[in-house]
Amino acid sequence: MTEADEKDGTPTVLVDPIDMSKLDPEFRNEIKSMPNGEELNACFACSTCTAACPIANIWTYKPHQLIRMIILGMREEVLSSDEIWLCLTCFQCQERCPQKVRVTDIFFDCKNLAAEEGKIPENIVGLAKTLLEKGQLYEVTADWEREDMDLEPEVPGLSTDEFIEIVKATRTGKIAGGEE
Amino acid sequence: MGCSVPANYPNYEAAMHKVAEGLGMELEYMEGVACCGSPNLRAIDMMGWLTVNARTLAIADKNGHDIVTPCNGCFGSLKDVYHFLKHDAKYLKEVNAVLKKEGLEFKGVAKPRHFVEALYSDVGIDEIKKKITKPLDGVGIAIHYGCHILRPKDVTEFEPKMLQDLVTVTGASVIDYPLWKQCCGATVLPVSEDLAIRLARDKLKSMTEAGAAFATVCCPACGNQLDLQQLGLKDSYGEEYNLPVLLYPQILGLAMGLDEDEVGLSMNRVAADPILEHLTE
């Protein structure tokens, strides 16, 4: 590359500038008050979580960046990101964090906040509907297979009504109920 | 028992019962329980997820017995909720207020446990060894533990050594492979099937390259990913692994002298009967 080339065009930036006026300083406190969010501020951005993540290569925002974005208050960007839903929940990031930040748990908290705002992938809404209607994700359909194995055709002890009652009254009911 | 094993893996359920019976372990179906909700419920409805799992734990408290499950999904959810409610008084109060309507209370006395951990801790390797009548001939088995039995370790309290010892006591040898800690991709299946398949493929490749003749799992979702998904890899990746994936109680059952029908070997998607050739008479 010649010197002339370098002077042409717009300068390369690694990260788009952050518009400080759009930050939500309360976002970090919101996450910190949620289950297992207490250690959020301990993050010193070492990127160990990203190194441990088996799919960080396909993420636009890497795990350590998402944590930093939460601390900075980039609420909208985090809660609208595909990344929180692509998280495998394999806990490799959380397991290796030298600062004991519960990274995977915090992404679960983010998903709950996103869900509260109705930002949920369609297929997950489908699962919520299944849970609300059936009280379980999988139903026995091939009971002859169970009988082949000398098992009762119906699962002994199974009772789904109580499950359905519980999730009808919580957020699942809001997400999956009503709009049919 | 959860929902996935009874619906999709009656071979796992049956093998678990038969192995337990042979080892003098008494298993009882819990009355009045349903699904754990899975990590998907945790993602969208933390309170619902906490409550349904606390309810299952409260029933176990009432029964006075620990919960034993063959599914990493149930295990992960129940363990997470158990650990969380033991450490969070505010949520505990809220959850118990809901459970009170049914006359239940989460006390945290009965513990959620994985079947393989119960085999290891309650029966013990020495006792299991006495029941091995048809040991395997040292055939190499790759263990896929599954994320939610291993991590977060402060919650799951599971040691990989437990399953390693349970495999070697059958006479098989454990194959080390680079991606042993890695996820099978099951959780991301509803959001990105391509990604889920890539993860399963990476695992299978790592296991096969390390020289594994078989793989073993202790979770229906992992079993689905590693066994069933192999069929699709011929089209998506042009790769054929033909790596039989057995649910751990199937391997133990065979080594204890059960026959292939008793452990439901024909229900495994990738033909698993080659393992019979590795049993000594």
CA-closest candidate to residue B256, choices B174, B136, B117, B121: B136
Q: What is the pLDDT of residue A18?
A: 87
Residue with tokens 């299952």: B56
Number of neighbours of residue A141 by Cβ within 10 angstroms: 9
For residues B187 and B151, membership in a common domain is answered with: yes
For residues B104 and B194, membership in a common domain is answered with: no
For residues B154 and B101, membership in a common domain is answered with: no
Number of neighbours of residue B127 by Cβ within 10 angstroms: 14
For residues B271 and B146, membership in a common domain is answered with: yes
Give the CATH number, domain containing residue B101. Answer: 1.20.1050.140
Number of neighbours of residue B184 by Cβ within 10 angstroms: 29
Judged by a CB distance cut-off of 8 A, whether residue B25 touches chain A is no
For residues B142 and B102, membership in a common domain is answered with: no
For residues B136 and B110, membership in a common domain is answered with: no
In a domain, B54, yes or no: yes
Q: State whether A88 and B41 contact (CB < 8 Å).
A: no
Helix/strand/coil for B190: coil
Mean pLDDT of residues grouped by 10 in chain B (281 residues)? 95 98 97 95 98 98 97 98 97 98 97 98 98 98 98 97 98 98 96 96 98 98 97 94 98 98 97 96 75
> What is the tally of structural domains in chain B?
2
Encoded tokens for B143: 């263990």
Comparing CB atoms, the residue among A128, A131, A166 nearest residue B55 is A166
Q: State which residues form the domain around B102.
A: 4-114
Domains defined for chain A, CATH in brackets: 20-116 (1.10.1060.10), 122-176 (no CATH)
In a domain, B234, yes or no: yes
For residues B274 and B136, membership in a common domain is answered with: yes
CA-closest candidate to residue A83, choices B188, B139, B150: B188
Q: State whether B30 and A157 contact (CB < 8 Å).
A: yes
Is the pLDDT at A1 greater than 80, yes or no?
no
Comparing CB atoms, the residue among A90, A141, A148 nearest residue B7 is A141
DSSP string, B139-159: -EEEEE--HHHHSSHHHH---
Give the CATH number, domain containing residue B137. Answer: 3.40.50.11810
For residues B190 and B143, membership in a common domain is answered with: yes
Q: State whether A151 and B42 contact (CB < 8 Å).
A: no
For residues B100 and B176, membership in a common domain is answered with: no
In a domain, B119, yes or no: no
Chosen from A49, A83, A89 to mutate, greatest number of chain B CBs within 10 A: A89
Q: What is the pLDDT of residue A4?
A: 47
Distance CA B15, CA B72 (A): 17
For residues B176 and B206, membership in a common domain is answered with: yes
Structural domain ending residue among the three candidates B48, B80, B114: B114
Judged by a CB distance cut-off of 8 A, whether residue B30 touches chain A is yes
Structural domain ending residue among the three candidates B114, B146, B161: B114
Minimum CA–CA partner of A82 in chain B = B191
Predicted confidence (pLDDT) per residue in A39-85, tens digit: 999 999 999 999 999 999 999 999 999 999 999 999 999 999 999 99
Position A3 confidence tier, pLDDT thresholds 50, 70, 90:
very low
For residues B164 and B28, membership in a common domain is answered with: no
Structural domain ending residue among the three candidates B64, B80, B114: B114
Judged by a CB distance cut-off of 8 A, whether residue A119 touches chain B is no
Helix/strand/coil for B79: helix
Q: What is the pTM of this model?
A: 0.94
For residues B53 and B183, membership in a common domain is answered with: no
Minimum CA–CA partner of B81 in chain A = A35
Q: State whether A171 and B187 contact (CB < 8 Å).
A: no
Rounded to a whole number, what is the distance in Å from the CA of B226 to chain A's nearest CA?
16
